[in-house]
Amino acid sequence: MHDPVVAKENGKYYLFNTGKGIGVYASTDLENWEKMPPVFPEKPAWTDSVVPDFENHIWAPDIIKKGDTWYLFYSVSAFAKNTSAIGVATNKTLDPSDANFQWIDHGIVVRSIPDRDMWNAIDPNIIFDENENAWMAFGSFWNGLKMVKLNEDLTKIAQPEAWRTIARRQRSFKLDNKDPGDAALEAPFIFKKGDWYYLFLSWDLCCRGKESTYKVVVGRSEKATGPFFDKNGIPLNQGGGSIVLEGNEDWYGRGHNSVYHFEGEDLMFFHAYDANDNGAPKLGIRKIDWIDGWPTLKDFK
C-alpha cells in the first residue's frame, strides 16, 4: 500500500490509501488489518474530464471529521504531470455495516492544468486554524506546496480566495514546465502539538522500488498557515526542512506520512519498500517522542 491516512471510530481504525477506488483497511490493534470494500467501486463521474479514460486509480487521500460528518479528500492525476484535481466525498460513518453508511461525492475542490498552474492538485491534507477555519495543504514539485482556505462545508475554495506557499525547493528551471525537474517535494501533513503546528512533507522520489529516495522532513510554526521553519531556522518555503525519516538498506524510500494521537501516543504512519520482499510497498508505523520540541521516531509495539 501507499500513502496511508487513518481515522478511528467506535474502537476501530480505518486506513485509507492510494489504490483502485481508494483502498480501505480496518483494524482493532493497528497490527492486523482486514481489507474492506473500496470507497469508489466505480470511478467518480467527473474524473474523465480531468484525466481522459481515468482508470479509477485514486491517489493520496486524507480523512477528517467535522461535526458528525467524515470528509474524505482524494487526488485524481496523470502520473508525473500536473493534470490533476482534488475531490471530496462525505459519509456519516466509516463502518460499512452501519445503515447510515454511504459515500456521497461532491466533485472537484481544486484543479491544476499544465501551462497554467505551477503547482499540482494532489496530496490534500486539511488543518483547522485557531479560529476553526479549514485550510487545505496540497501539492508537489514545480513551484512548491500550496495552502488554500476552504469554505465552511469543506467542499469548495473559500471566497475571497486565500493562498499560501508553505514549502518549496530551489528549481533549476532547465526543464520545461511539463517536467517537475529537481524541485522534488510533496505530501504535506500538518499536526498540532502543544503550541506548535508541525508541517511534515516528503522530499525526493517515490514509487521507484530500490531507486526510491523518499524521505520525511519537518518544520514548525505557531500558526496553522505558517511560515514554517526547520531546526536551523530556515523557512520551508525557502528550501528548509529537518529530516525525520529516510530509507535504509532494508526499507527503501520511506515517506508520504501522516501523524495522529491515538490511545495516548503520537504515531507516524508511512509507506516503504521492503528490500527483503522484492521491494513490496508496505505500511510502516513509528511512535513519536518530542525532544526539545521536535519529533524523534522510535519503534511501534
Tens-digit pLDDT profile for residues 16-48: 999 999 999 999 999 999 999 999 999 999 999
Which of 62, 117, 123, 186 does the annotation list as catalytic? 186
Q: What would the mean pLDDT of 138-149 be, rounded to a whole number?
A: 90
The closest alpha carbon to 125, from 61, 76, 204, 69, belongs to: 61
Q: What is the mean pLDDT of residues 160-183?
A: 72
Mean pLDDT of 240-253: 92
pLDDT band at residue 206 using 50, 70 and 90 as cut-offs: confident
DSSP code of 249?
A: S
Taking 90 as the threshold, does the pLDDT of residue 271 lie above it?
yes
- CA-to-CA dists, residue 207 to 2, 30, 42, 245, 272, angstroms: 9, 24, 25, 16, 9
Q: How far apart are the first and last CA of the chain?
A: 20
Catalytic residue among 3, 62, 123, 204: 3
Reply yes or no on whether the pLDDT at 170 is more than 80.
Answer: no
Query: What is the residue range of 241's domain?
Result: 2-299
Mean pLDDT over residues 45-72, rounded? 96
Q: What is the DSSP string of 96-109?
A: TTSTT---EEEEEE
Q: List the beta bridge partners of residue 149.
A: 135
Write down the residue that cell numbers 490533476 correspond to. 84
* Averaged pLDDT, 50-67: 96
Looking at the predicted structure, is the pLDDT value of residue 176 above 70? no
Domain count, the chain: 1
> Helix, strand, coil shares of the chain as percentages rounded to 5?
5, 50, 45
What was the pLDDT predicted at 115?
85
| Mean pLDDT computed over 236-265 | 94
CA torsion sign for 23, 296, 225, 179 is: negative
The mean pLDDT value of the chain amounts to 93
- pLDDT category, 179, cuts 50, 70, 90? very low
Q: pLDDT value at position 210? A: 77
Sorting pLDDT into bands at 50, 70 and 90, what band is 282? very high
Is position 3 annotated as part of the catalytic site? yes
Cell triple for 288:
513519536
Q: What is the mean pLDDT of residues 172-178?
A: 52
For the cut 70, the answer to whether the pLDDT of residue 180 exceeds it is no
According to DSSP, the residues that pair with 69 across neighbouring strands are 66
Does 172 score more than 80 pLDDT? no
Q: What are the angstrom distances between the C-alpha of 24 and each of 15, 67, 77, 167, 198? A: 6, 22, 20, 29, 26
| pLDDT per residue as tens digits for the range 68-105 | 999 999 999 987 788 999 999 999 999 999 999 999 99
Specify the CATH number for the domain of residue 264. Answer: 2.115.10.20
Q: Is the pLDDT of residue 49 over 90?
A: yes
Question: What average pLDDT score do residues 208-234 get?
Answer: 93
Closest CA to 122 of 214, 232, 256, 217: 256
pLDDT band at 223 (very low <50, low <70, confident <90, very high): very high
177: pLDDT strictly greater than 60? no
Check pLDDT > 70 for residue 173.
Answer: no
* CB 4 within 8 Å of CB 15: yes
The pLDDT score that the predictor gives to residue 178 is 46
